[in-house]
Amino acid sequence: MKNLYQIGDTHTLKFTVAEADLASFNGERVHPFYSTFALGRDVEWTCRQFVLQMKEEDEEGIGSFLNIRHKSPAMLGETVTITAILSALDGNKIDCDFRVEIDERLIAEGEQGQRILKKSKLAQMTMAINTP
């Protein structure tokens, strides 16, 4: 694992809310806002940018937690800016705080965690789960 970052470093990505990002279950629209599920996916991808730069060829990242606090809705066609802020770096542990905004309006905030593991360790974990 390459140690390239310091606490407080950031990665920022922008996402435009698409039809597929709106809250719906079993094909039924719940409401016309950016769903927590889609928001979580986009937050995970933004925070993963740290892992992509830090992992070695024989390593991969795995999520360990995601905590989202929705503060305001985002509508179809609006562009959200997600900023991941490195909050903890301890061994293979990479934790981020994040903010999701449209201009100055806070849409959501929270925390997300990842671990960098050897691909061989992930394979062992998979075998252990799949072995009766």
What's the confidence (pLDDT) of residue 36? 94
Closest CA to 66 of 84, 90, 89, 91: 84
pLDDT per position in the chain (132 positions), as tens?
888 899 999 999 999 999 999 988 888 888 889 999 999 999 999 999 999 999 999 999 999 999 999 999 999 999 999 999 999 999 999 999 999 999 999 999 999 999 999 988 888 888 788 776
Element spanning 87, H or E: strand 79-90
Euclidean distance between CA atoms 39 and 24, whole angstroms:
13
Distances from the Cα of 104 to the Cα of 9, 46, 61, 72, 107, angstroms: 20, 19, 31, 12, 9
What tens digit of pLDDT does each residue of 85-114 get?
Answer: 999 999 999 999 999 999 999 999 999 999
Whole-angstrom CA distances from 121 to 6, 58, 61, 85, 106 are 26, 10, 11, 27, 38
Cα 97 to Cα 85: distance, rounded to the nearest angstrom:
5
Record the tokens describing residue 79, joined without a space.
Answer: 């562009």
Question: Which residues lie closer than 8 Å to 63 by C-beta, 6 or more apart?
Answer: 44, 112, 113, 114
Q: What domains appear along the chain, each with residue ranges and CATH number?
A: 10-130 (3.10.129.10)
